[in-house]
């Protein structure tokens, strides 16, 4: 389930977010080149609504993942429980960072804030590496405990 969530989130981001971002860029740049503030605002509003939907869907998948790991918690050792708790917190922080990134993205695009976009991307990449490391640790611990049985 962890692998599926990570894989699906990545696929969803690529297949759903990129077209949304491209449409926003096109609409906003068209409006901006015509100095049409109403259309600029409309482009930002449409972008925000579509990103909110993506965020809602990702949060829904995260909730499913947390519910699924609850069954593991019933039989897991304290060490695995601790790792699962840390992983839950890390996923929550990653979602917060992702939500913040999505909410600041229109402004960053409008002002061409490449540094801000790179900083946000780097934060998400670090979170993803931490989650992968935690997942690997949990798998190792579970395999070790199963071998001890």
**pLDDT one-digit tens code per residue, 32-42:** 899 999 998 89
The token pair that represents 39 in the structure block: 């259309």
**Residue 140 pLDDT level (bands cut at 50, 70, 90):** very high
Say what the pLDDT of residue 2 is: 59
**79 vs 54: which has the higher pLDDT:** 79
Which contacts of 34-43 are long-range, i.e. CB under 8 A and separated by 24 or more positions?
A: 40/110
**Residue 72 pLDDT level (bands cut at 50, 70, 90):** confident
What are the backbone dihedrals phi and psi of residue 36, each rounded to the nearest 5 degrees, phi first?
-100, 95
pTM: 0.70
Residues 6 or more apart whose CB falls under 8 angstroms from that of 45 comprise: none
Cα(49)–Cα(51) distance, rounded to whole angstroms? Answer: 5
Neighbouring CB atoms inside 10 A of 141's CB total 16
Cα atoms found within 13 Å of the Cα of residue 54, Cβ hemisphere only: 26
**Residue 119 pLDDT level (bands cut at 50, 70, 90):** very high
As a three-state string, the secondary structure of 20-87 is: HHHHHHHHHHHHHHCCCHHHHHHHHHHHHHHHHHHHHHHHHHHHHHHHHHHHHHHHCCHHHHHHHHHH
The chain-wide mean pLDDT, for the chain, equals 84
């Amino acid at each position: 389930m962890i692998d599926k969530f990570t894989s699906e989130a990545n696929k969803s981001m690529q297949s759903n977010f990129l077209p949304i971002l491209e449409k926003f860029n096109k609409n906003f740049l068209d409006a901006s080149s015509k100095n049409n503030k109403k259309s600029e605002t409309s482009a930002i509003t449409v972008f925000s609504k579509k990103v909110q939907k993506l965020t809602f869907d990702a949060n829904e998948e995260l909730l499913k993942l947390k519910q699924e790991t609850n069954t593991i918690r019933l039989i897991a050792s304290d060490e695995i429980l601790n790792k699962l708790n840390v992983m839950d917190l890390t996923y929550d922080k990653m979602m917060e960072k992702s939500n913040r990134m999505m909410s600041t993205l229109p402004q960053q695009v409008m002002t061409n804030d490449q540094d801000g976009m790179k900083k946000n991307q780097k934060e998400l990449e670090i979170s993803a590496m931490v989650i992968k490391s935690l997942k690997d640790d949990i798998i190792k611990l579970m395999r070790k405990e199963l071998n001890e049985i």
